[in-house]
Each structure stands twice: as structure tokens, then as C-alpha cells.
Amino acid sequence: MIQTNSGLRSLVQSLRPITSSLSEIAAYSCYTSQAASALQQVSRPNSYSEDEYAKVDWDNLGFGITPVDYMYTMKCSSDGKFEQGQLAPYGNVDLSPSAAVLNYGQGLYEGTKAYRTEDGRLLLFRLDQNATRMKMGADRLCMACPSSYQFIDAVKQTALANKRWIPPRGKGTLYIRPLLMGSGAVLGLAPAPEYTFLVYASPVGNYFKEGLKPLNLCVEEEFHRATRGGAGGVKSITNYAPVLKAMARAKSRGFSDVLYLDSASKKNLEEVSSCNIFLVKGNIISTPATSGTILQGVTRRSIIEIALDHGYQVFIFLKEGCMYQRKLKWQSPILHTKTKQKGCRLKTTGKRLPANRTDQKTGQLKNIPIGSCPITNFKHK
């Protein structure tokens, strides 16, 4: 059993009490294992009556946009300092046609979730790491960025302002998307003179339509998510539209998503369109290194730390060929980092084609019953 370690409070030193007009907001606290897989408490224990929930069919909640009550906005000008943000009714935003985000893709986003507990508390997951990752991305794209304190406060306020949209426990979560964009007008290629930080939310169910059922992944050779020296290691908005064609092609063939190879050799596994991957055999877990082309996932880091806590050996491969696609034949479960999704098992099908192509080698990912793998079992608690 994973025990609480008070020494990990350093992970949330920046999460000091925040003054807000919302009376429900309490001081941040963090209870974690040595793996630092903490949920941050964002409201006092409370008892919620049914009439305080929004009118949503919680039993049939998919992953899509459901307009909520409020969003949060904050701006900064050329001095690089963000002014005091504020909650506003959820709605459209005004942008110049020459905004840098529209013309040059100068934008970043994060994704996190608010969870409801059985006793009515609202929980957030490791926001300090999302804030740090946005800072890294902002530096890469030459953008001004809110401080970690501002980031966390904005997400916290957005969650509490929309708490009636947080699904009952076991029915889903409130997906929260912090968005940083170059909102200032530019014509020539240059950093924007103004930036907008915006946080919006939507209640969601499972990301994949299969829910907790098995997934099929298609190994992609023609298209690549990222290249060396590019922006694949940060959560830039420009990283996602290019994968749509590969995803559409895979889904037309009955697959759930795409598993990408490195662009240099087309042999090494990297990640899925929207999540990191792990290969598991016995008590050995292996995953590609986040060496510039792979996003530094918050869930990825948490799984690594939890795995080490449970006595697993974790190999983060830095060298070419260590995560070669042929290893799919002998590896056991495949885990991915989309929240609330089961682990998967690979079963090879078909014959190899010339030049080691994978069109007929793509395997069916079969479900591992929840609880059979300590990592996935802990992850779903």
C-alpha cells in the first residue's frame, strides 16, 4: 500500500492559500505517495444536493463541449506582466484577424481535470506541473506566461465557479483547459505584442468512444507527429492539427488511434496522437525518453514514480533502437496515459511486409482486466 510522505510537500510549495471572492476556496493541501501522485484539494468537504448539479445526462456523458457557466481570462501587454484576471460568463472571445495565434499559431494549451469525491470535495491533479510545462512551452514559442501562482489560481477559480458541472463521482470529470495565445495583432513574423490567458471547462466522460473497452492502435509510418528540433516536446497548438489526417485514416480502418514512430529512422516508438505510451513485461516498464519530440506528460511522470514505488524497474530509453517496433512482439501489456483508460495487451496479426512495414503487423490491443496490473489498478483509484 502506498503511504503518505510529508516530504513531498515541496512539490506544492508554490500552492499557498489564495484569497478569492469564492468563499468555498480553501488552502491547498497535498496528500501523496512517495510517487508524488497527489490530488490537490481545492474545496472544503461539503454535502451536495441533487438540485445543485447542472441538468446533464451524466450516464451518457461523452468527450465533447458542454457550455458551462464561467471562464477565466487574463491579459498582458508588451511588458510581459499579466494583470489581475477575472471570471466572466462563458462565451466567445474577440480576436483581431491579424492575431499571432491565428496567423502564426503562437499558442499553447494545457489539460487537467476536476474530480468530485464521495464526500463532496473537489480535487485537482498536480497543477504545479501543468504550470511548469506551460512555462517551458512559452519560452520555446517566445511568449509571455502567467506565473505558476496565477496559473493555479485561475484553474482553481474556474473549477469552483463551475462546480455544479463537475459530474458525480464515477460519472465523469470536469475537463479544464488553460489556453495561452498571442492575441496581439502582427503582420510580419514576430512575437505578439499582447497575450491572453484563458481557462474554460466542460464536463466529460471517457476520451475514447470505447470507454474502458480495449483499443486498437495503428502504427503509422507515413506521417509523423514531431521531428527533432521542432516543438513536439511542448504543448503547442500547432502539434495537433497535423495528426488529424493520420487519425482519420486509422479510424476509417477501424482503429482507435495512431501510434507514431520517430521521423528519423521510422523504427522507434514515440507516442500516440494524444498520450504517452509504456511497454510492460513482468516488472519491467519501458518508455521513450522525452528528448524533444515527445511531450513531458504529467500522467507519464506520475506513472513512472508510482511504478518505482511499487518495485517496478523503469527504463527510459535514450538510444536509437531501444524502443524498436519489433519489440511489440515480446512485450506484454501496453499502457497509455489517457486518464481513466485500461491497460492494453498486444496480439500480433498477419504477416510482415517488405521493408519491415507495419500495415499488416498492427496488432489488436486486448484488455487487461482492471486490477490485474498494480499500475492500472492504482491509477483508477
Counting Cα atoms < 13 Å in the Cβ hemisphere of 230 gives: 17
Alpha-carbon separation of residue 170 from 59, 204, 253, 377 (angstroms): 10, 11, 32, 15
The closest alpha carbon to 75, from 238, 194, 233, belongs to 194
- Catalytic-residue membership of 338: no
Q: By the 8 A CB rule, do 176 and 114 touch?
A: yes
CA dist 182 and 232 (Å) reads 19
Q: Taking the CB of residue 23, how many other CB atoms lie within 10 A of it?
A: 8
The SS3 of residue 134 is helix
C-alpha cell at 170: 464515477
Q: By the 8 A CB rule, do 151 and 28 touch?
A: no
Q: Which of 235, 342, 361, 379 is catalytic?
A: 235
C-alpha cell at 57: 445526462
By annotation, the residues acting in catalysis are 235
